Structure 1
């Protein structure tokens, strides 16, 4: 998985290099860079991936399989139905 991610990042570096070259070469209006939706799309994708990361790490107590089993065990030990 990490090797795939590194490969994608290395390929994306070519896109960033091209955008940097366009930014240096563009006039004050910045038309070439403004027309490119790539940075916006990748920014949105990064936010989605960050949200997935947070949701995969944050697990409220009792909402995971482990938490549910632990709660049932504790209730059974206390005699709570």
Structure 2
């Protein structure tokens, strides 16, 4: 039982520092990007059935990817404007 608790702590800590897993997220960025792209070609219900995820999970992934894309776009624009000066 103690070993299980230790493994859970290790997994939790490694997930927080792993480059492709974001804190408190269950999926890799690559997987989330894949879901996002597939939803654009289909719909959330269909992808949810295919991946055995709830509508709420698919929607959360979709919104998270949109949020990251906006953040990256703003950062890119900021970098460009600083280079122009």
Q: Sort the TM-score into its range (normalised by shorter chain).
A: 0.3 to 0.5
TM value normalised by structure 1 = 0.39
The two structures have a TM-score, normalised by structure 2, of 0.38
- The structure with the larger Rg is 1
Q: Which has the higher contact order (CA 8 A, sep 6+)?
A: 2
